[in-house]
A and B are shown apart, each in its own frame.
Chain A
Amino acid sequence: MNNSVSACLDSLSVQRAYGPVVEGEALISEEGFSPRYDLDRWSGVITKPGHKLEGVSIRDRICFFPTAKGGIAAGWAFYDIKHKSIAPRAFIFGVTNPVMVQGAVFAGIAITEGWSKLPAEVVQNGDWVRVDPGRKVIEVLRRASPPEADGGPA
């Protein structure tokens, strides 16, 4: 999909990876994920009350989740949401489980596990990132806004 390696602003490496090279908008979650527990599988919106991303769509995003919840459902569910055109472009897990991987492989969605640094140190919501499973690296290509713009504490 992207043969040229354009300049990246920052990057993190991952431990395990599968799937095609993809680019998309980053969506960072502080909470784990399960398509059964958390996701409306007809709209692609996280609907579990109280989930840190409640009301947010995962469609076409590069989703960063610290953990996997549950669950056997992902085995079929990722294939289903891919065909409904509401799937994310990649799942980036801190710690995952076999079914997330089985589901992603079945659906042809990029998936990775383990990260060299916390995503929050490198990526912000809305940043444009590239996931390269072959090189086991995630690169930030474009910022959603200047990093210093929020003026938050270091």
Chain B
Amino acid sequence: MKLTTQEQDMLDGKHGDAVREALAYQLEIGRFWDAERFVPISNAHMMGDIEVMGDAGLAFLERACAQQARCSVPITTNARCFDFAHAESMGQDMTEAVKERKIIRLMRDMNVVTTDTCINYQTVYQPHLGEHIAWGDTGTVIYANSVFGARTNFEGGPSALAAAMTGRTPEYGFHLARHRRGTISVRVDARLEDVADWGAIGKIVGERHQNYFAVPVFHGLQRAPVADELKHLGCALASYGSMAMFHMVGVTPEAPSLEAAFAGQTPVDEMVITDADLEHVYRSYKRGDGSANLVVFSGPQLSLFEMKELSEMFADRKVHPGTQVYVTTAASVKASAEQLGYLAPLETAGVTVLEGVCFYILQNLSQMRMANGWTNMISNSAKIVNIIGAHRFNTLLRRTADCVDIACTGDLGGGTS
């Protein structure tokens, strides 16, 4: 890779050991992908919690702090694994909670803004067309590339942190125009009435094309989606297909037309998605032992509008005895929801609203599953029903209203299928 004078200085240790190590690490990544140079970034977003980092990751952060590591561009944190207000009652390990608090403190010492949200693109920062950034998790990346036209690859925790310390990232993948052209044509001939329907589309396309560099182009939609629908579509594409970008003709900024979206590239596949395909998705889930004692609205965290909608759906209803319902959102959204009166109907109904976390990354989740006798997990998020597998849940995707009905009746039969 070609280095600027400043980058060579970093590599030579003139900016300290932490920056030297960060750039050397980025250099190896760049070499793997045949990057020719680094590109400056203006914003970073990182995952970093004890559940995924473990003791080794915590020790790494302690060492970085001891080396005076400090981020030079704004960086925020993704959802973490503890909502401390609920940790004990949920049966989480309080020894690990102490470590989580330590991680938060270390990150703040490194100039990291601990927002603890996976919807930073809805709540914190909206990059502009062509802006180079270094984001993770995957849902944030695909939204940034697709909806904002910003440029980022999937950046794991250590690499996003390194990018924020050096102020740059290797220029490969979706930083380059040649990888942003559409590769798959997807004509949508279906009524899409719920965020779960948009997630189901992501599942259909993502499962068929598990390829980071696949870029689906959606067209023929009966109406333009709103932000939460794009969020669920993107999260599902990234989850099932490991995809980092999509186009939607007439909606996303790099797709004013079908021709512009493909930019001369011939699609490798042409898909058509119908109502029947969506119904097939809902019917495809196994009912397991038939239990309906866990309903989750999470992964991604809920926006204020989703909180409002859910609040209205749970108003004057009660969660079925024995069933537990969890909602996760950003602290800022929860505070606004409380102020606006959306929180009280949820809590009165028996819903637990967690802040700063996502359900699937909760510390001790496998043990919580066993302790609570959870086998089935019902959600309106196509992403979370896919991603939670290692914890051995049987998962079912259902539309939002069906999830609410299941939560209030304790009857799985109340859902779509």
Within 8 A of A (CB), among B164-204: 172-173
Tell me whether A76 and B33 are in contact (CB under 8 A): no
Which partner residue on chain B sits nearest A113 by CB separation? B32
How many residue-residue contacts, CB under 8 A, span A and B?
A: 147
Known: A38-B389, A47-B390. A98 touches B154 (CB 8 A): yes
Which partner residue on chain B sits nearest A96 by CB separation? B212
Whether B85 is near chain A, meaning CB under 8 Å from some CB there, is no
Whether B47 is near chain A, meaning CB under 8 Å from some CB there, is yes
Which of these, A16, A75, A80, contacts B47 with CB under 8 Å? Answer: A75
Tell me whether B387 and A70 are in contact (CB under 8 A): yes
Tell me whether B156 and A99 are in contact (CB under 8 A): yes
Whether A124 is near chain B, meaning CB under 8 Å from some CB there, is no
Q: Which residues of A contact B366 (CB under 8 A)?
A: 40
Q: Which residues of B contact A51 (CB under 8 A)?
A: 389
Within 8 A of B (CB), among A1-59: 16-18, 32, 36-41, 47-49, 51
- Which of A18, A39, A106: most chain B Cβ within 10 A? A106
- Which size class do B's interface residues fall under? 35 or more
Whether B83 is near chain A, meaning CB under 8 Å from some CB there, is no
What total of chain A residues lie within 8 Å of the partner, measured CB to CB?
A: 41
- Complex CA–CA separation, A98 to B138 (angstroms): 11
What's the dominant secondary structure at chain B's contact region? helix
- Complex CA–CA separation, A72 to B135 (angstroms): 10
Q: What's the nearest-Cβ distance from chain B to residue A114, in Å?
A: 11
Within 8 A of B (CB), among A66-106: 67-77, 79-80, 82-84, 95-99, 101-103, 105-106
- Complex CA–CA separation, A51 to B48 (angstroms): 27
Which of these, A49, A75, A95, contacts B156 with CB under 8 Å? Answer: A75
Tell me whether B29 and A76 are in contact (CB under 8 A): no
Tell me whether B54 and A71 are in contact (CB under 8 A): no
Q: Which residues of A contact B414 (CB under 8 A)?
A: none
Whether B392 is near chain A, meaning CB under 8 Å from some CB there, is yes
Whether B60 is near chain A, meaning CB under 8 Å from some CB there, is yes
Tell me whether A102 and B210 are in contact (CB under 8 A): no
- Complex CA–CA separation, A101 to B35 (angstroms): 14
Tell me whether B56 and A83 are in contact (CB under 8 A): yes
Tell me whether A73 and B33 are in contact (CB under 8 A): no
| 0 or 1 for each of B199-224: is its CB under 8 Å from A? (1 = yes) | 00000000000111100000000000
Which partner residue on chain B sits nearest A105 by CB separation? B28
Q: Which residues of B contact A111 (CB under 8 A)?
A: 32
Tell me whether A67 and B390 are in contact (CB under 8 A): no
Tell me whether B156 and A72 are in contact (CB under 8 A): yes
- Complex CA–CA separation, A74 to B47 (angstroms): 10
- Which of B173, B239, B389: most chain A Cβ within 10 A? B389
Tell me whether A98 and B54 are in contact (CB under 8 A): no
Q: Which residues of A contact B137 (CB under 8 A)?
A: 71-72
Q: Which residues of A contact B138 (CB under 8 A)?
A: 70-72
Q: Which residues of B contact A102 (CB under 8 A)?
A: 29, 155-156, 158-159
Provide a sorted-by-A list of 20 A–B residue pairs whose CB atoms are within 8 angstroms: A32-B210, A36-B360, A36-B387, A49-B389, A68-B242, A69-B210, A70-B387, A71-B137, A73-B47, A74-B156, A75-B160, A76-B47, A79-B56, A79-B158, A80-B54, A80-B55, A80-B56, A80-B57, A98-B173, A102-B159
Give me the interface of B with A, judged by CB distance under 8 Å: 25, 28-29, 31-34, 47-48, 52-57, 60, 78, 136-138, 153-160, 172-173, 210-213, 238-240, 242, 244, 360, 366, 386-387, 389-392, 394
Give me the interface of A with B, judged by CB distance under 8 Å: 16-18, 32, 36-41, 47-49, 51, 67-77, 79-80, 82-84, 95-99, 101-103, 105-106, 111
Q: Apart from A47-B391, A48-B392, A77-B52, what 10 extra A-B contacts exist at CB < 8 Å? A: A18-B31, A41-B390, A75-B136, A75-B156, A80-B54, A98-B154, A98-B172, A102-B156, A103-B156, A103-B158
